Structures are given as structure tokens and as C-alpha cells.
Amino acid sequence: MKNYYLAIDIGASSGRHILGWIENEKIWIEEIYRFENRLIEKNGHLCWDLEQLFQEILQGIMRCKKYNRIPKSIGIDTWGVDFVLLDERQEILGETVAYRDSRIHGVDKKVYEIISEPELYYRNGIQKLPFNTIYQLYAIKLQTPDVLRRAKTFLMIPEYLNFLLTGVMKNEYTNATTTQLVHADRKEWDLELIEKLGLPAHIFGEIHLPKTSVGHFTKEIQELAGFDTEVVLPATHDTGSAILSVPTNDEDYIYLSSGTWSLMGVERKIPDCTEESRVRNFTNEGGYHYRYRYLKNIMGLWMMQSIRKEFKHPYTFQELFTLAKIGDYFTSTVDVNDSSFLAPKSMIQALQEYCERTNQEKPETESEILACVYKSLAQSYADTVREIEAITGKQYEKIHIIGGGSQDIYLNRLTAKYTGKQVYTGPVEATALGNILVQMLKTKDLNDLMEARDTIQRSFDIKQAAGE
């Protein structure tokens, strides 16, 4: 009898329920439910609609009963850095504010009055992003201190969703590291740093590794779903899950998890918290079994997604590739990580204003706008490859592009051209697969990570991208 495993993979714009199982020594997956995840404006802030999000999770779980495919276990992964604070009644305090909200503007400078940026990086090795959890929590301390005083529990988004399913609260390692509050060497909450910032240390619970059981459905959820199952911690940070499904056990590769964000890096056994690493803005996020995901966050297909919404015609992605190629003559490029592209009212206008500020030709046509973004992303990938090789002192032959962005044929070709590397693409559903792999590793359907990656390689069509 097959063991089915359910990955609930939630990104910043959508979520999906994907069932996975092993058959004939291959992993098979089937999407059974998909839903929209969106930001809402609430009391002047950009917030996550967690109530609606949880209802969507339940709808997808009930599909398992409908299709008579009861999962042996369930794992939830989401984006990082965002969280909830719960009071003594286990109810959310304040709003569930999203990382793109403006409340964090200037907060990093306030933090650096207490601890310098180099010292902070030396402790946790996490890339400075203005919306990291550390700055969000400090913003709450400055702006709504009563919320922090009343807080009893800190949970990242997937941990809170697990709590709603099971009634059990557990913090998970890979997502915890994105807070910038976990000590890189000790792999535990940095209580000295937390206390130095005046944050309440008691709200942070024990950190658990992927494969840990959270618990079983509550009676209420069992009645709604029509069955009971175990909820397991995958790598709850979506990139942590995605990297698990890179289809190789070689070591001479760079991964690129391509989606709303582009995460580009290598796996390492020890963190690099040096000043050079900090200045180059690399991060040492936690990975499966205490591996380190040494990578750089790059503004990814968020820019393309935003532009597509602004176009009057609802172009297919294939049409966008064609339009971008028509604009190949256009040479202006932008720094895709510039803060002006984080949450602009108009991405097209932000692109044009950036080019004007930097004395470059402004993109006017749809083809020029797309070409500008595509070339800028490819250039950013090439720059990051050179930085990785400089820091590690190692040359890499291959780039493995995984995730939804691996379907972008034109960007893959540009990446091969700009980096000069062999570029391989797939699997597409990398995050859900990584989530499922952890569940399979827990039950010993797979023995170890090496076997898991070998199985991914023979289960999915991995393609090589030709340079333009």
C-alpha cells in the first residue's frame, strides 16, 4: 500500500497542496488544490489574511478525503521572516503585518545604535535585509510596545498554521534562522542579543529540526477533514525545502531557487560570518540537518509578476518571453535589489525612474521594459556567481535552476549566456518536493538525503539550457 504525503507549499502570492508518493522507485506528485495568497490593507498596514489562508489550507486537506488519498503526514512551508505574537489566551496580538510593509523604514539604524551591523553579522551570519524579523520586532517595540509586553509566544507563519491544525506550538530551525536572531555557531536563539535589544526572551521556544513531529490533528480538525494524520516539520522555510530537491549529489554546482525571489548560492558545512561575506551581502541560512544555505537573496520574478499585472493585455508567459527577445537591442539595466523595487505602486514607473536617475535610456515599450528586467536579472546572477567563486575559492561548472522560475526559457538562456556556466533546469515544484522528501525521510521511505536526491534525478525531466 502506498504512503501518501501532503506538502502544503505557500508562497507570497499563491499556495498549493501537492500529494507525493513513491512508485516503481520514482517519486510521483499530484497537485490537488491551489489558491491565492494576497496582502490586505488593514489599519494602515500591509497584512496577511491568515484567517482566509487557513480556510484555504482546510479546503485542500478535505480534498484528500474526497479523492480517498489520506496522507500519512502533512508538512507546511512558507516564506520566511514573518511571524505572529500570541497572548496568554493564544490569540494573535496586533496585525499580521507583512514584510513588504513600510513600518520597518529606518528601524535598522535604530538597531545599529545598540549593536553594530558588523557585530550583528558576526553573531548570526544573516544577510542584511531591512524587513528581517529582527527589524520587524524592533519596530513593534518602538511603535506599539504594549503588543510586545503582552506577548507570550512567538511563532513564524508555518508554525502558527501548524498550531491551528494540532494545538501544538513548535519553532523550526530553517525558518528561525531567517529572523537574524539565531546564533550561527550555536544554532539556538541568541538570548544575549535578544536581551540586548530589549526583546522578551521568554516568547522564543525550543528550536526543532526538520523531521520532527508536531502532533496530530485536533478533534475539531479531524471532524472537518474526515480523517486524522500527523503534522511533521519539513524545512518550513520554502527555500530550505527547495534546496533539498536539487537533483544531484555532486558538489561542483551553484543552485538558483527561482520564484518571486531568486535565491542563489551553495551548500556549506560551516557558516561564513566574515566581514568580506557581510560586505558582499551573503547569508548563512539554516538548512536540512544543520547544513548552511550560503546564498544571496536577489529580487526575482516579483518584478516580472508586477509588470505583467500592469500591462493592458493579459500576455501568456510564452508571449512575454517573445516580447523580451524582441527588445534584445535595449541595453539599460538596473540593480534588481534596489529598495525602489521592493513594493512600488508601479513597477514600470520604478524601472523608468531608476534608469533616469542613473543616466540611462528609459524603457518605453513593453519589449524594452521586459528586456531591461530580464537582462538585469541575468547580470545579477552572473555577478553573484563571481562573488561565490571569489569567497569560496572554488570554480563551479554548473548552475541548477529549480522552482517555478525554471520554466522561464528565455531567462534560463540569458543566465547561461551571462554566467558562462552549464545551466540545468528543474524540478519545477522544488519546494513541495523538498517538503515531501523530509516526510519520506522521517518514515524511512527514503534512507538519506543522497538517496532522496538520486530519486529526484531519475523521477523528473532535468533539462540543459543553451546560452543565447
Task: Determine the straight-line distance between the first and last CA of the chain, rounded to whole angstroms.
Answer: 47
Whole-angstrom Cα distance, residue 290 to residue 269? 8
Q: What is the dihedral of CA 245, 248, 254, 259, to 10 degrees?
A: -30
Conformational region of residue 167, where left means phi above 0, alpha means psi within -120 to 50, and beta covers everything else: left
The DSSP secondary structure of 347-385, one letter per residue, reads HHHHHHHHHHHTT-PPP-SHHHHHHHHHHHHHHHHHHHH
Give SS3 for 465. strand
Measured CA distances, 21 to 67, 71, 89, 416, 439 (Å): 15, 9, 39, 33, 10
DSSP 309: H
Please say if 335 is a catalytic residue: no
Measured CA distances, 298 to 125, 320, 342, 373, 432 (Å): 17, 21, 11, 13, 21
Q: Which three cell numbers stand for residue 331?
A: 541595453
Whole-angstrom Cα distance, residue 378 to residue 20? 33
Whole-angstrom Cα distance, residue 77 to residue 243? 13
Question: For 298-316, b where at least 16 C-beta lie within 10 A, e where not — what string?
Answer: bbbbbbbebbbeeeeeebe
Active-site residue (options: 82, 238, 272, 408) = 238
By annotation, the residues acting in catalysis are 238
